[in-house]
Amino acid sequence: MRESVSYGVRNSVAVLTLNSPPVNAMGQTLRRALKTHLETALADDSVEAIVLTSCGKLFSAGADIGEFAAGVFTAEPSLPGLFDQIEASPKLVVAALNGGAFGGGLELALACHYRYVVPEAQLGFPEVSLGILPGAGGTQRLPRLVGAQTALEMITSGRPVSAYAARKSGLVDELHSGEEEFVSSAVGFTRLLLKEGAPLRSCRRLSVDLTKLPDGYLRQFRDEVALRSKGFYAPLRCVQAVEAACTLPFREGLKREAELFLECLHTPQARAQQHLFFAERECATIPDLSKKTRPRVLKLVGIVGAGTMGGGIAMAFVDAGIPVRLLDKDKESLERGMNVIRDNYHNSVLRGRLTCEQVEARMALLQGTLFFDELGDADLVIEAAYENMAVKKEIFATLEWICKPGAILATNTSTLSVDEIAAATARPQDVIGLHFFSPARIMRLVEIVHGSRTAPEVVVTALEMAKKIKKVGVVVGVCFGFAGNRMLEPYMREANRLVLEGASPERVDRVLTDFGMAMGVFSMADMAGNDVGVQIRQSRPDQYRHDPSFFLISDRLYRMGRFGQKSGRGFYGYQGRNRIVDPEVNALAEELAASLGIRRRPIDDVEILERCLYVMINEGAEVIAEGVAIRSGDLDVIWCNGMGFPVFRGGPMQYADEIGIDGIVAGIRGYRQRLEEYGAKWFTPSPLLERLAQEGKKLGQFRKGQQP
């Protein structure tokens, strides 16, 4: 059986190699093996020094995240105990970082006396993105080595640094160079240290240099973190842990770190963020797809439509180094689209995010065209045209005879049937939905909508594509609104109904943003444009299965020419981008409520939040039960990466599991009673939710294909 740490001696230097694919996560098995071999090396008089390195592309991704929920993370030998042993070693210990070192992997390196690293390595403390903080000495050793400012930036942002930046800050001592094999070179570096009588440097003997800190820096940094981390629990605790390094002796600082780590570990936010970490990765696991299914080649992408979505999608591909041919029907639209792309890249240069050379390289990959036949040799063509079935069918009929055999034909539709579009071609097996979310360059989510006849390798290619353009692809089935927008509708319906029943748009929006939503329903409607919503509804009146009161206010605002931000007035008034409450809208709501015989009443914040969230969760349960989505985590990934749901709550389905399915079912039943005729029509618990509540189970345990 493969050892999780291998042991060898080269030139009187013991080499301990982590070997626990895929990322050398330091679970208990690896910790035991590491301790055993460390003690062997310490006890062997012929061994003069020790090198710690690893197999694989990464040095180590840190602690085994899966151990947190299982309560195994603190089981002996613990990481802090191991690192103390390494740091106290009477023999020189060198960390030879053959690749990225993250979290506990970097803490392991900090416990060593010296650090030798490959130039391409990334080094970081991503714990804050898991709702925790470095819990094995990282918050105490790092500031002592690189200073409080660099340490605070790394630990509170979770962003990794390059090996070069690490060399500059003193985090690492030497970059590997030359042709010599890495481990041999690391052993050579170690022998040189021995020859020079290099001291056994340990971070614990250092103190944080505060002399270079600007006055009031720590307080100011803490205030900034408090402002930008609203709702997240860990970032401020990261600051407190580093402050302990600045004010307490090492031992006491370690104790303070351990306290803060455990405080974070047992929070709903930590559970939520760790859930999302695994959920994002599980999205790529498609039960019906054989792991042997190979993706098709993806070297050239065609995009039909140079509008906002088409342009954003084009940028996502050229950002990833994939050539794009961007087509539009007329010269003026194409030029406008290309200019918008050029302006966006220019802004990136002004913000220091890209250099001029990088922008030129990207623009060189982008070719505009007015001719369909120039898409003939594309491996993938994405239609991003007007959201109208007839328009899309016409485009796909054209692509059918233009595109080479095996080319993937994708639609960016947000709700239309991929099967119906596929039927406009003779190759439905090559047709798929790629629903990007606006702004397409920035939003990470792509809903990958497989039609009933979409070939397996087309789905696999779409998943690979998503990873290549640094997005997260979630595979969903065909239904109106797929998964994200299908859950959005009842959520928006309740928000609108609440306004008719007596809550103002601004209060509904505030309750939702206080919960953590990136935007409220009505500010989002004003941003998207009431006119867009009305046009979509008018193009498909039969597909909206909601209460007629749902769109009453929007339709009236539309007829009043109040389209939202674009017209300066919608649910709100606007001065530039400043949103202003408009009493006229509440007066309109009163008038419309009266016309529907809706009795208005005072409505509290709890009811607003529960009604909006419970119907969203309930619809999500139906989406899973119908097999439109494979698992609840997929819906959480969709909502946190495409719909503005707060990451620190883990997504709507994680939130439901956190507060309890039984409470949600009881709440839905309660509103069914309280809201009389409307409640009877729109508040029926999903059978899946009822079953899980009855059995005391969670949504996270349910998988596609199980009977509700």
Tokens of residue 377, six digits: 């040799």
Least CB distance to ligand T1G at residue 270 (A): 10
Interface residue with ligand T1G, options 126, 484, 520, 700 (CB under 6 A): 126
Q: Is 158 helix (H, G, I), strand (E, B) or coil?
A: coil
Is the CB of 62 or the CB of 620 nearer to ligand T1G? 62
Least CB distance to ligand T1G at residue 311 (A): 28
Angle, helix 138-146 to helix 104-111, in steps of 10 degrees:
60
Least CB distance to ligand T1G at residue 355 (A): 25
DSSP for 124-142? E-GGGGGTS---SSHHHHH
Strand-pair category, 380-383 with 408-411: parallel
Is the CB of 71 or the CB of 90 nearer to ligand T1G? 71
Residues 6+ apart with CB under 8 A from 542: none
Least CB distance to ligand T1G at residue 63 (A): 3
Q: Is 678 helix (H, G, I), strand (E, B) or coil?
A: helix
Residue type, 272: A
Least CB distance to ligand T1G at residue 79 (A): 5
Is the CB of 73 or the CB of 551 nearer to ligand T1G? 73
Is the CB of 66 or the CB of 376 nearer to ligand T1G? 66
Residue type, 325: R
Which segment (19-27, 184-192, 441-449, 527-535) binds ligand T1G by CB under 6 A? 19-27
Residue 43 · residue 36 · CB < 8 Å: no
HEC assignment per residue over 605-623: HHHHHHHHHHHHHHHHHHH
Active-site residue identified among 39, 76, 87, 127: 127
Is the CB of 140 or the CB of 348 nearer to ligand T1G? 140
506 in catalytic set: no
Instruction: Tell me if 138 contacts ligand T1G by CB under 6 A.
Output: yes
Is the CB of 448 or the CB of 498 nearer to ligand T1G? 448
φ and ψ of 51, to 5 deg: -115, 130
Instruction: Tell me if 18 contacts ligand T1G by CB under 6 A.
Output: no
Q: How many residues bind ligand T1G (CB under 6 A)?
A: 26
Least CB distance to ligand T1G at residue 40 (A): 24
Tokens of residue 415, six digits: 């709700």
Least CB distance to ligand T1G at residue 10 (A): 28
Within 10 A of 374 (CB to CB), how many other CB atoms are there? 15
Tokens of residue 84, six digits: 């103390």
Q: How many Å apart are CA 62 and CA 65, to the nearest integer?
A: 8
DSSP for 77-109? SPHHHHHHHHHT-SSEEEEEE-SEEETHHHHHH
Return the residues of window 221-280 that contact ligand T1G according to CB under 6 A: 278
Strand-pair category, 114-117 with 174-175: parallel
Which segment (3-11, 37-45, 127-135, 695-703) binds ligand T1G by CB under 6 A? 127-135
φ and ψ of 703, to 5 deg: -125, 155
Which segment (129-137, 448-456, 553-561, 656-664) binds ligand T1G by CB under 6 A? 129-137
Least CB distance to ligand T1G at residue 123 (A): 11
Is the CB of 134 or the CB of 520 nearer to ligand T1G? 134
Least CB distance to ligand T1G at residue 30 (A): 11
Q: Is 179 helix (H, G, I), strand (E, B) or coil?
A: coil
Angle, helix 138-146 to helix 148-157, in steps of 10 degrees:
140
Least CB distance to ligand T1G at residue 109 (A): 12
Within 10 A of 467 (CB to CB), how many other CB atoms are there? 12
Active-site residue identified among 87, 107, 387, 501: 107
Strand-pair category, 92-97 with 122-124: unpaired
96 closest CA partner among 70, 115, 120, 80 = 115
Which segment (132-140, 169-177, 477-485, 608-616) binds ligand T1G by CB under 6 A? 132-140
Residue 602 · residue 669 · CB < 8 Å: no
Residue 520 · residue 508 · CB < 8 Å: yes
Burial (CB < 10 A; 0-12, 13-18, 19+), residue 275, is buried
Which segment (1-9, 22-30, 580-588, 680-688) binds ligand T1G by CB under 6 A? 22-30
Interface residue with ligand T1G, options 13, 89, 127, 449 (CB under 6 A): 127
Instruction: Tell me if 475 contacts ligand T1G by CB under 6 A.
Output: no
Q: Is 14 helix (H, G, I), strand (E, B) or coil?
A: strand
Residue 97 · residue 172 · CB < 8 Å: yes
Q: Is 101 helix (H, G, I), strand (E, B) or coil?
A: strand
Is the CB of 159 or the CB of 669 nearer to ligand T1G? 159
Instruction: Tell me if 630 contacts ligand T1G by CB under 6 A.
Output: no
Site string for ligand T1G, 339-358 (x = CB under 6 A): --------------------
Is the CB of 127 or the CB of 489 nearer to ligand T1G? 127
Which segment (20-28, 503-511, 531-539, 640-648) binds ligand T1G by CB under 6 A? 20-28
Is the CB of 102 or the CB of 114 nearer to ligand T1G? 102
Least CB distance to ligand T1G at residue 379 (A): 23
Q: How many Å apart are CA 473 and CA 471, to the nearest integer?
A: 6
Instruction: Tell me if 134 contacts ligand T1G by CB under 6 A.
Output: yes
Which segment (87-95, 125-133, 424-432, 544-552) binds ligand T1G by CB under 6 A? 125-133
Return the residues of window 25-44 that contact ligand T1G according to CB under 6 A: 25
Interface residue with ligand T1G, options 99, 131, 135, 642 (CB under 6 A): 135
572 closest CA partner among 526, 623, 622, 504 = 526
Least CB distance to ligand T1G at residue 138 (A): 6
Q: How many Å apart are CA 535 and CA 541, to the nearest integer?
A: 10
DSSP for 351-365? TTSS-HHHHHHHHHT
Is the CB of 13 or the CB of 130 nearer to ligand T1G? 130
Q: How many Å apart are CA 430 and CA 415, to the nearest integer?
A: 19
Burial (CB < 10 A; 0-12, 13-18, 19+), residue 86, is buried
Tokens of residue 361, six digits: 């390289």
87 in catalytic set: no
Q: How many Å apart are CA 98 and CA 52, to the nearest integer?
A: 10
Is the CB of 56 or the CB of 323 nearer to ligand T1G? 56
Q: How many Å apart are CA 463 and CA 170, to the nearest integer?
A: 39
Tokens of residue 606, six digits: 């709890």
Return the residues of window 54-83 that contact ligand T1G according to CB under 6 A: 58, 61-66, 79
Which segment (88-96, 135-143, 206-214, 511-519) binds ligand T1G by CB under 6 A? 135-143
Q: Tokens 């689209």 map to which residue?
A: 337
Interface residue with ligand T1G, options 97, 130, 382, 403 (CB under 6 A): 130
Please measure the distance between the N-terminal and C-terminal CA atoms of the chain and give it in whole angstroms.
Answer: 41
Least CB distance to ligand T1G at residue 116 (A): 20
Residue type, 513: T
Q: How many Å apart are CA 389 and CA 394, to the nearest integer?
A: 9
Is the CB of 135 or the CB of 337 nearer to ligand T1G? 135
Site string for ligand T1G, 79-118 (x = CB under 6 A): x--------------------x-xxx--x-----------
Site string for ligand T1G, 271-290 (x = CB under 6 A): -------x--x---------
Task: Give catalytic residues, as residue numbers.
Answer: 107, 127
Which residues contribute to the site for ligand T1G (CB under 6 A)?
22-23, 25, 58, 61-66, 79, 100, 102-104, 107, 126-127, 130, 132, 134-136, 138, 278, 281
